């Protein structure tokens, strides 16, 4: 078994793992990223991407922003639609000029991979059977089988579990004595489509309708991403293209808005879950991103929260290696959890305010309309949405 030595072993080559490796490199810290998928699979998996101002700033400041600034679509607001009318939340006016940028997650991954490889980074694609050993000791290691079928061992000082919501590394934190999992399953799902069509709006539209929620989004000037609230047990087979467009028109069209149809080339159903693992560390193992928490997509927070995690974690690891001091590592969970729970609340709040609940009566929907009216009428209410949507500053 061949053995490699590095400072940080990172399991998972998604946004959290790759950004952590990038930030560590800028601080002179070596890492190896182990990813089960091939590079083609990583870069080819189409994922949504609404980047907070913090994420955009971090990418630009650390040399990842060239293509983002050239191809990303900067949005200075969103529209909340209810009662057949739109109500704009103006980010730039309410947050001192902050914005969000529509830039798909797979494009972020392409940028990260290209930069890491250009910087001489070590990313092992197509690995299997990755196992962490001795994470409670001072000499943890990771064994795995590489893409050629060879058994390998990676010795390291610290391990980062960035292996997504189907994580294996989280299981290393004992559930019965150390780890507490907080979980919520929502009684609705999103039916998502990708379509070749012109944009229906210059900004994202969040629509509350008596037939259910709808989201009008975009990927590129020629590809649009739209969602409909459906039952969690629904199937894509139940939805013809005509039915999808008809439902989108019914839920969104009205004063100042009209959906533009096109050719649908992808359909999927996205379940709604909230999850937080506490603590996010054990010994020399540290979780980040979806391995530690997931949020409903309503607030567009998943990737941004992962980036916020590794921003803090990279600083703590740097302090450890430079000063031989574990103080910031030990404080990692306590440092990131407040943002995580604020984000959970915002995502839950937006979801509960905009979606029809299956057991709610007319009272429930009228209450939602009153809440939306109250929020959009009030400068304080609009500011609360805007500040959370564009993201509060990263502070360490």
Instruction: Decide if 209 is catalytic.
Output: no
Asked if the structure places residue 386 within a domain, the reply is: no
Say how far apart CA 326 and CA 255 lie, in whole Å: 58
Distance in angstroms between the alpha carbons of the first and the last residue of the chain: 40
Average pLDDT on 322-337 reads 98
| Residue 253, in any domain of the structure | no
| pLDDT on residue 361 | 78
Residue at 305 is within a domain: yes
Task: Tell me what the mean pLDDT of segment 146-151 comes to.
Answer: 96
Residue 24 lies in a domain: yes
CATH number for the domain spanning 328: value is 3.50.50.60
Q: Note the pLDDT of residue 231.
A: 95
pLDDT of residue 247: 98
Q: Three-state DSSP class for 127? A: coil
- The CA-atom distances, in angstroms, between 367 and each of 192, 250, 252 are 27, 21, 20
Interatomic CA distance for residues 8 and 24, integer angstroms: 9
pLDDT tens-digit series, residues 229-258 = 999 999 999 999 999 999 999 999 999 999
pLDDT at 358: 84
Which of 226, 297, 332, 355 is the catalytic position? 297
Q: Could you report the per-residue pLDDT of 123-136, keeping only the tens digit for each?
A: 999 999 999 999 99
Distance in angstroms (rounded) separating the CA atoms of residues 230 and 57: 35
Asked whether the predicted pLDDT for residue 102 surpasses 80, the reply is: yes
Look at the chain and report how many structural domains it folds into: 1
Ordered DSSP codes for 137-194:
SSS-EEEEE-TTS-EEEEE-SEEEE---TT-SGGGGS-TTTT-EEEEEEEEEEEEEEE
Options 22, 25, 282, 301, the catalytic residue: 301
- Catalytic (active site) residue 389: yes
- Counted residue by residue, the chain has a size of 396
Q: With respect to residue 389, please indicate whether it lies within any of the assigned structural domains.
A: no
**For residue 212, is it within any domain?**
no
Check whether 302 has a pLDDT greater than 80. yes
Rounded to whole angstroms, the Cα distance separating 73 from 102 reads 5
For this structure, is 106 an active site residue? no
Q: Please pick, among 103, 227, 332, 389, the residue that the annotation labels catalytic.
A: 389
The confidence score (pLDDT) of residue 1 equals 85
pLDDT of residue 88: 97
Q: What is the pLDDT of residues 45-74, one digit of tens each?
A: 878 789 999 999 999 999 999 999 999 999
Tens-digit pLDDT profile for residues 16-37: 999 999 999 999 999 999 999 9
Q: How confident is the model at residue 396 (pLDDT cuts 50, 70, 90)?
A: confident
Percent of the chain past pLDDT 90, that is, above it, reads 93
Catalytically annotated residue among 76, 140, 206, 296:
206
Q: Give the strand pairing for 77-82 and 205-207.
A: parallel
Residue 332 is among the residues annotated as catalytic for this protein: no
Whether 166 is covered by a domain: the verdict is yes
Residue 246 has, within 13 A of its CA and on its CB side, a CA count of 5
Q: Quick: pLDDT tens for 311-323.
A: 999 999 999 999 9
- CB 368 within 8 Å of CB 323: no
366 part of a folded domain: no
| Distance between CA atoms of residues 78 and 248, nearest Å | 18
Whether the Cβ atoms of residue 100 and residue 51 lie closer than 8 Å to each other: yes
Query: Which domain, by its residues, includes 17?
Result: 2-47+105-182+275-349
Q: Are 75 and 203 in contact (CB under 8 A)?
A: yes
pLDDT of 310 reads 98
Which residue is listed with tokens 């000029």? 97
Mean pLDDT of the chain: 96
227 given a catalytic annotation = no
The tens digit of pLDDT for each residue in 188-227 reads 999 999 999 999 999 999 999 999 999 999 888 899 999 9
Which is the catalytic residue, given 22, 75, 226, 293? 75
In percent, the amount of the chain with pLDDT more than 70 equals 100
């Amino acid at each position: 078994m061949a053995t490699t030595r590095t400072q940080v072993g990172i399991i998972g080559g998604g946004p959290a793992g790759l950004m952590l490796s990038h930030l560590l490199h800028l601080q002179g810290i070596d890492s190896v990223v182990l990813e089960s998928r091939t590079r083609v699979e990583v870069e080819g998996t189409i994922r949504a991407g609404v980047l907070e101002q913090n994420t955009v700033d971090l990418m630009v400041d650390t040399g990842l922003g060239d293509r983002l600034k050239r191809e990303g679509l900067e949005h200075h607001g969103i529209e909340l639609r209810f009662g057949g009318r739109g109500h704009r939340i103006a980010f730039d006016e309410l947050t001192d000029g902050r914005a969000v940028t529509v830039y798909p997650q797979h494009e972020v991954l392409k940028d990260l991979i290209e930069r890491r490889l250009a910087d001489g980074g070590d990313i092992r694609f197509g690995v299997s059977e990755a196992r962490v050993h001795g994470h409670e000791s001072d000499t943890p290691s990771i064994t795995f089988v590489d893409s050629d079928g060879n058994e390998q061992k990676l010795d390291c000082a610290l391990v980062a579990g960035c292996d997504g919501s189907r994580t294996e590394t989280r299981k290393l934190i004992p559930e019965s004595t150390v780890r507490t999992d907080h979980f919520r399953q929502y009684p609705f799902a999103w039916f998502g489509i990708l379509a070749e069509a012109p944009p229906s709006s210059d900004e994202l539209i969040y629509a509350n309708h008596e037939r259910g929620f709808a989201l009008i989004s975009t990927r590129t000037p020629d590809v649009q991403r739209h969602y409909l609230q459906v039952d969690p047990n629904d199937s894509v087979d139940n939805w013809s293209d005509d039915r999808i467009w008809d439902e989108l028109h019914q839920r969104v069209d009205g004063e100042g808005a009209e959906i533009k149809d096109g050719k649908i080339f992808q359909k999927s159903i996205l379940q709604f879950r909230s999850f937080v693992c506490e603590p996010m560390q054990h010994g020399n193992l540290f979780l980040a991103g979806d391995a530690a928490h997931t949020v409903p997509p309503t607030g567009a927070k998943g990737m941004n929260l992962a980036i916020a995690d590794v921003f803090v974690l990279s600083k703590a690891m740097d302090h450890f290696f430079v000063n031989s001091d574990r103080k910031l590592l030990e404080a990692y969970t306590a440092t990131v959890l407040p943002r995580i729970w604020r984000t959970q609340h915002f995502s839950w709040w937006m979801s509960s305010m905009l979606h029809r609940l299956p057991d709610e009566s007319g009272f429930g929907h009228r209450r939602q309309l009153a809440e939306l009216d109250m929020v959009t009428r009030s400068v304080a209410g609009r500011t609360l949405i805007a500040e959370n949507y564009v993201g509060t500053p990263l502070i360490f």
